[in-house]
């Protein structure tokens, strides 16, 4: 397990943790946001908060793609699942997410054909094997998953597959970060930026952050990655964007992946659950590919989306509040009966608190 064992080496972890403790200024508080849900899970899974000094406060950010997908998207997928000859395909995480009135998992138990796949290409293969059925793939996720979904649409066009479309809910990260820095309730000193997103987009889209006095480090997901990135954030005097994840990325990102995204998608103002609409933060399918756009192909009709008013997922997603501050947490909202998406997704902040910290 090269590149995993090395980054879980206890001796090295202890060394970096001690260096963090030596490097912090004792009389100040450091507020660092880990933007990405995978970082959040890693921090909890490896108990990394135990290794940090008390004055480093790690705040979980909006980088769980399932958590920020609004009810309306799930409601549309559920409405489509009720149609005849329709197969809804999705990444595993999305199955349990509650929409306004139900979830795909519950609809599957009621008879809907909902299948878990590992990629858009898997969904496309299913379309080829089932010419009498319509296959809808739920396109969710950030810059990490969007290029592969773009590739599946390009491949569908090339192979003249007519029964495949994507319900597009992709989001992009930089504009969301801008929104966070503009929220007066948040006092963030620095960001742990998501390694896999950055592999695609490089560092250019983050360069506005140091100008807003925010320290930035692009980090990998193993314990040593995260601790090293925190050390780099602590030591950074003049805010800048540094890369800890050098083994996987360079500052320019992956131009080929960006090209396929650009070919199929265009930017538009996307609604983030709990945050609302953020300009240029979403991807929609370009007109040229509208044959593969579920929204255009089927125009799914849904009732008005509904949110539980007591759920504070929005504030949790933004890092303004921690899960235990929610009245529903652990009482009316748990992984079996999630009220908000933060509890259902394995990358959600509430689920991580509940599962790993028991509170």
Partner 1 sequence: MEKITLAHGSGGTLMHKLIDSLFMKEFDNAILRRKKDSAVFDIGRSKVAFTTDSYVVSPIFFPGGDIGRLAVYGTVNDLAVCGARPLYLSLALIIEEGLDRNILEKIVSGAKDAAKRARVTIVTGDTKVVERGSCDKIFINTSGVGEIYYDGLSLDEIRPGDAIIVNGSIGEHAISVMASRESIDFKTKVKSDSSALNALIARALAISKGIRFMRDPTRGGVATTLNEMVERRSFGVAIDEKAIPVSAGVREACELLGFDPLYLACEGRVIMVVSKKDACKVLGAVRKDVNGKKAAIIGEVTRENKGKVLLRTSAGGKRLVGMLSGEQLPRIC
Give the whole-angstrom CA distance, residue 232 versus residue 28: 17
Q: For partner 1, which is the closer residue by CB, 119 or 236?
A: 119
Q: For partner 1, which is the closer residue by CB, 5 or 182?
A: 5
Rg (CA), the chain: 21
DSSP H helix total and E strand total for the chain: 15, 11
Residue 306 three-state SS: coil
Q: Is residue 137 near partner 1 by the rule CB under 8 A?
A: no
The least distance separating partner 1 from the CB of residue 159, rounded to whole angstroms, comes to: 20
Q: Is residue 105 near partner 1 by the rule CB under 8 A?
A: yes
Q: Is residue 96 near partner 1 by the rule CB under 8 A?
A: yes
Locate the DSSP E strands across 80-188. Answer: 86-90, 113-116, 134-139, 164-168
Q: What are the residues whose beta carbons fall under 8 Å from the beta carbon of 242, sequence distance 6 or more? A: 216, 217, 218, 232, 236
Residues 1-20 that bind partner 1 (CB under 8 A): 1, 4, 8, 10, 13-14, 17
Q: Is residue 50 near partner 1 by the rule CB under 8 A?
A: yes
Residue 22, exposed/middle/buried by CB under 10 A (0-12, 13-18, 19+)? exposed
Q: Is residue 268 near partner 1 by the rule CB under 8 A?
A: no
Site string for partner 1, 307-346 (x = CB under 8 A): ---------------------------xxx---------x
User: How many residues belong to the site for partner 1 (CB under 8 A)?
Assistant: 48
Answer for which of 35, 94, 249, 341 binds partner 1 (CB under 8 A) is 94
Q: What are the residues whose beta carbons fall under 8 Å from the beta carbon of 127, sequence distance 6 or more? A: 133, 135, 156, 161, 163, 164
Answer for which of 70, 99, 120, 141 binds partner 1 (CB under 8 A) is 141
Residues 172-231 that bind partner 1 (CB under 8 A): 196, 223
Stretch binding partner 1 (CB under 8 A), from 27-35, 138-146, 172-180, 257-265: 138-146
The least distance separating partner 1 from the CB of residue 232, rounded to whole angstroms, comes to: 18
* Phi and psi torsions of 194, nearest 5°: -75, 125
345-359 burial, b at 16+ Cβ within 10 Å, e below that, comes to bbbbbbbbbbbbeee
Stretch binding partner 1 (CB under 8 A), from 86-94, 207-215, 230-238, 291-299: 86-94
The least distance separating partner 1 from the CB of residue 224, rounded to whole angstroms, comes to: 8
Q: Is residue 47 near partner 1 by the rule CB under 8 A?
A: yes
Answer for which of 30, 44, 73, 191 binds partner 1 (CB under 8 A) is 44
Q: What are the residues whose beta carbons fall under 8 Å from the beta carbon of 166, sequence distance 6 or more? A: 120, 136, 137, 138, 139, 149, 152, 153, 285, 292, 293, 294
Q: What are the residues whose beta carbons fall under 8 Å from the beta carbon of 18, sequence distance 6 or more? A: none
Q: For residue 111, how many other CB atoms are within 10 A of its CB?
A: 9
The least distance separating partner 1 from the CB of residue 37, rounded to whole angstroms, comes to: 8
Q: Is residue 144 near partner 1 by the rule CB under 8 A?
A: yes
The least distance separating partner 1 from the CB of residue 34, rounded to whole angstroms, comes to: 14
Residue 112 three-state SS: coil
Give the whole-angstrom CA distance, residue 166 versus residue 123: 10
- Given the rule CB under 8 A, which residues bind partner 1? 1, 4, 8, 10, 13-14, 17, 38, 44-51, 65-66, 91-96, 105-106, 108-110, 116, 118, 140-142, 144-145, 196, 223, 334-336, 346-347, 354-358
């Amino acid at each position: 397990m090269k590149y995993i064992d090395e980054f879980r080496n206890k001796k090295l972890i202890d060394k970096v943790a001690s260096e963090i403790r030596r490097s912090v200024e004792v009389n100040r508080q450091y507020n660092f946001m880990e933007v990405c849900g995978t970082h959040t899970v890693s921090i909890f899974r490896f108990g990394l908060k135990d290794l940090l000094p008390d004055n480093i406060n790690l705040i979980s950010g909006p980088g769980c793609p399932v958590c920020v997908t609004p009810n309306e998207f799930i409601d549309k997928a559920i409405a489509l699942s009720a149609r005849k000859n329709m197969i809804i395909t999705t990444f595993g995480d999305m199955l349990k997410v509650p929409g306004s009135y139900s979830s795909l998992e519950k609809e599957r138990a009621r008879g809907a054909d909902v299948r878990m796949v590992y990629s858009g290409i898997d969904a496309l293969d299913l379309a080829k094997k089932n010419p009498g059925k319509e296959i809808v793939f739920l396109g969710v996720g950030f810059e990490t998953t969007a290029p592969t979904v773009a590739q599946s649409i390009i491949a569908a066009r090339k192979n003249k597959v007519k029964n495949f479309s994507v319900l597009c809910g992709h989001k992009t990260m930089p504009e969301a970060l801008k929104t966070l820095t503009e929220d007066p309730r948040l006092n963030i000193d620095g960001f742990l930026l998501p390694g896999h997103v950055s592999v695609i987009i490089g560092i250019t889209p983050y360069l506005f952050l140091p100008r807003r006095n925010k320290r930035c480090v692009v980090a990998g997901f193993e314990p040593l990655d995260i601790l090293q990135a925190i050390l780099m954030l602590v030591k950074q005097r003049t805010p800048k964007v540094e890369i800890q994840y050098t083994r996987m990325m360079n500052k320019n990102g992956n131009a080929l992946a960006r090209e396929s995204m650009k070919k199929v998608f265009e930017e538009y103002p996307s609604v983030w659950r709990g945050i609302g609409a953020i300009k240029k933060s979403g991807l929609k399918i370009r007109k040229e590919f509208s044959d593969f756009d579920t929204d255009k192909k089927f125009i799914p009709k849904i009732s008005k989306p509904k949110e539980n008013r007591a759920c504070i997922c929005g504030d949790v997603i933004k890092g303004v509040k921690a899960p235990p501050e929610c009245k529903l947490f652990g009482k009316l909202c748990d992984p079996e009966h999630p009220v908000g998406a933060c509890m259902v997704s394995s990358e959600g902040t509430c689920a991580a608190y509940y599962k790993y910290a028991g509170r």
